[in-house]
């Protein structure tokens, strides 16, 4: 049925009135009669039911109306159907119910990358490299296997059971397990390790409910290894919970410093100040950001920058300064509604314009690439009206993301059609899975820990040569020009994937960090006392 059957924009107030309780009265649109608009929507639906030429799905019509109304408000007010609410919230809640394995689908088969430490699968002895070929007696291989199939069959309420049959290399027959599902943690910190003898590195992928606790544990771990200075990597971190963002920022600031404040038309200003509980209030700090760092990442970056607590290195962040709050609808679906803007301590609102519409809003980062901003910092223009000053009177700008103190251009020198095709066809990952499947025991004998792998793995040329042969046998012919441009990058990614599959995700970042320009520059600046001090002071 066509959406043009009625004007969706007239439904804004009707949708708001779906919320129960007298509290919604104060949020009603100005100069609008609630009773009239409610009756208008009700009458419309009755007319459609009684007189429209065909049967209609009222629930679908209402859902489409909600989606369109929210889309007309701003790009971040969204509707979440009932069936997707739990799964949408899982990455931010920090846990889910399941069997506790990291998996990958390889040649239509579910392969265990690693069991979650302390989870039900690890406790039963399920190992990395095991292949799950049956679930509850049903064959779990073939073209029907995708991520959704795995989630539908292996996840389930805590305490319930699932039977799996596993194929293990060098073992006759299948191994049968009955796994009792349990609460499985979802870590938001991908990597924690020492970059040098005194510089620690933490990569945070999202601001989940458990992120602050994870960060405190990471800092404690790094301090035991001699950390005095820290690099916090927020690249590609699109945000999460607002309260977790200011809890994390609090770890870097002394007491009674403004971290962020929020304010909206119907949301009075609310200040969030630091406490005296920070675990890293001294020592040099660098925060890495890029064009995908958004929302909560920008709150932390803005607070660190405005108080001159550390340096921001990378490229201009996404520019999301809107606060969403979740509200449940009567059918247990949910909307996330923008209720306020947030402002950094200097008063900056870093929200970029969204009036052109959602499509243009989300393609704006691509436009930065086309206009050269990701490669040349001088292509970024800020109007004088958006000037602000940090605690040490350094000039910063609002109105479109956090501009880093040190710009590091996006490295595109290694990108080639050969590399792009290898990624698109998933050949790097498939090759590593085949390599690991054949050589896991020997590799772990040679390199029992990640430190051994980083220090002693010397087979770079052989690794690349073998991959090129594998790729050619799987539809990607050898390309000398592409290998000249991308060979080193392909080798490093292959080594990172080997390390991930042998050890954990932390190992992947330890390996690829050696070719990371942002990370190199951050370490160099930290190691130069005079330069670091100069960059955090006024010009």
CATH number, domain of 402, equals 3.90.226.10
As for how many domains the chain has, the answer is: 4
Please, is 459 exposed, middle or buried when counting C-beta atoms within 10 Å of its C-beta (0-12, 13-18, 19+)? middle
CB atoms within 10 A of CB 318: 26
Residues 6+ apart with CB under 8 A from 413: 485
Query: Domain for residue 324, yes or no?
Result: yes
Whether residues 336 and 255 share a domain: the answer is yes
Task: Specify whether 47 is located in the same domain as 157.
Answer: no
In a domain? residue 79: no
Residues 31, 14 within the same domain: yes
What distance in Å separates the CA atoms of residue 462 and residue 470, rounded to the nearest whole number?
12
The answer to whether position 161 is within a domain reads yes
Strands annotated E in 20-160: 78-80, 95-98, 101-106, 109-115, 131-135, 138-139
For residues 322 and 211, state if they share a domain: yes
Query: Do the beta carbons of residue 111 and residue 104 sit within 8 Å?
Result: yes
User: Is there a single domain that holds both residue 127 and residue 246?
Assistant: no
The verdict on 403 and 441 lying in the same domain is no
**Does any domain span residue 81?**
no
Whether residue 225 sits in one domain with residue 168: no
Q: Which strand (E) or helix (H) includes residue 233?
A: strand 229-233
21: left (phi over 0), alpha (psi -120 to 50) or beta: left
Judge whether 508 lies within some domain.
Answer: no
Any domain includes 458:
yes
Q: Considering the domain boundaries, does residue 306 fall inside one?
A: yes
CATH of the domain at 128: 2.30.42.10
Name the residue range of residue 477's domain. Answer: 417-503
Of 148, 169, 185, the domain-final residue: 185
- The greatest distance separating any two alpha carbons of the chain, rounded to the nearest whole angstrom, comes to 78
CA distance readout (Å), 63 to 53, 60, 262, 329: 21, 5, 30, 11
> Do 173 and 132 share a domain, yes or no?
yes
Assess if residue 520 is contained within a domain: no
Q: What is the pTM of this model?
A: 0.85
Same domain, 431 and 448: yes
Q: What is the pLDDT along the chain (539 residues), one digit of tens a residue?
A: 333 333 333 333 333 333 334 344 444 444 456 778 788 888 998 999 899 999 989 888 989 988 988 988 999 999 999 888 877 777 777 678 899 888 888 888 999 988 887 789 988 889 888 999 999 999 999 989 988 899 889 988 999 999 999 998 878 889 999 999 998 888 899 999 999 999 999 999 999 999 999 999 999 999 999 999 999 999 999 999 999 999 999 999 999 999 999 999 999 999 999 999 999 999 999 999 999 999 999 999 999 999 999 999 999 999 999 999 999 999 899 999 999 999 999 999 999 988 877 778 888 888 888 888 888 877 777 777 789 999 999 999 888 899 999 999 988 889 899 999 999 998 999 999 999 989 999 999 999 999 999 999 999 999 999 999 999 999 999 999 999 999 999 999 999 999 999 999 999 999 999 889 899 999 999 999 999 999 988 65
432 in the same domain as 305: no
In terms of domains, do 115 and 32 share one? no
Task: Calculate the alpha carbon distances from 378 to 105, 301, 408, 518 in Å.
Answer: 44, 21, 12, 18
Residue 394 sits in the same domain as residue 460 = no
d(CA 450, CA 335): 44
């Amino acid at each position: 049925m066509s959406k043009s059957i009625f004007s969706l924009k007239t439904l804004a107030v009707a949708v708001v009135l779906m919320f129960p309780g007298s509290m919604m009265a104060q949020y009603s649109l100005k100069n609008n009669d609630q009773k009239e608009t409610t009756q208008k929507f009700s009458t419309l639906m009755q007319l459609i039911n009684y007189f429209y030429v065909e049967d209609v799905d009222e629930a679908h019509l209402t859902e489409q109306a909600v989606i369109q109304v929210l889309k007309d408000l701003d790009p971040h007010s969204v509707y979440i159907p009932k069936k997707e609410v739990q799964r949408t919230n899982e990455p931010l809640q920090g846990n889910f119910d399941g069997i506790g394995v990291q998996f990958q689908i390889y040649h239509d088969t579910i392969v265990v990358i690693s069991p979650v430490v302390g989870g039900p699968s690890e406790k039963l002895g399920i190992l990395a490299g095991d292949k799950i070929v049956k679930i509850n007696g049903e064959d779990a291989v073939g073209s029907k296997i995708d991520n959704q199939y795995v989630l539908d069959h292996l996840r389930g309420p805590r305490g319930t059971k699932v039977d799996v049959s596993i194929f293990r290399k060098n073992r006759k027959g299948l191994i049968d397990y009955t796994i009792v599902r349990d609460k499985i943690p979802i870590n938001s910190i991908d990597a924690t390790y020492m970059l040098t003898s005194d510089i620690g590195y933490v990569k945070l992928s999202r601001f989940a409910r458990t992120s602050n606790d994870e960060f405190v544990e990471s800092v404690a771990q790094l301090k035991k290894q001699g950390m005095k200075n820290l690099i916090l990597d927020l690249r590609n971190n699109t945000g999460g919970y607002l309260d977790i963002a200011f809890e994390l920022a609090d770890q870097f600031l002394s007491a009674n410093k403004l971290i962020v404040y929020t304010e909206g038309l119907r949301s009075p200003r609310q200040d969030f100040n630091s406490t005296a509980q920070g675990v890293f209030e001294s020592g040099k700090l660098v925060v890495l950001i890029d064009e995908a760092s958004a929302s909560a990442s920008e709150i932390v970056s803005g607070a660190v920058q405005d108080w001159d607590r550390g340096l921001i290195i990378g490229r201009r962040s996404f520019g999301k300064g809107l606060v969403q709050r979740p509200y449940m609808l009567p059918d247990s679906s949910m909307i996330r509604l923008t209720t306020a803007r947030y402002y950094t301590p200097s008063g900056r609102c870093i929200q970029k314009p969204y009036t052109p519409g959602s499509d243009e809003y989300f393609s704006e980062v691509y436009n930065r690439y086309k206009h050269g901003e990701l490669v040349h910092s001088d292509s970024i223009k800020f109007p004088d009206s958006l000037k602000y000053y940090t605690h040490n009177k350094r000039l910063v700008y609002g109105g479109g993301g956090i501009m880093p103190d040190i710009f590091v251009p996006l490295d595109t020198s290694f990108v080639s059609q050969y590399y792009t095709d290898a990624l698109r066809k998933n050949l790097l990952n498939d090759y590593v899975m085949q390599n690991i499947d054949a050589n896991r025991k020997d590799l772990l004998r040679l390199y029992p820990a990640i430190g051994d792998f980083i220090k002693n793995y010397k087979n770079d040329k052989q690794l690349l040569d073998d991959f090129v042969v594998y790729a050619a046998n799987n539809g990607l012919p050898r390309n000398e020009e592409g290998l000249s441009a991308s060979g080193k990058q392909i080798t490093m990614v292959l080594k990172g994937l080997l390390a991930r599959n042998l050890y954990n995700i932390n190992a992947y970042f330890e390996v690829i960090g050696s070719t990371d320009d942002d990370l190199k520059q951050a370490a160099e600046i930290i190691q130069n006392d005079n330069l670091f001090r100069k960059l955090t002071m006024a010009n």
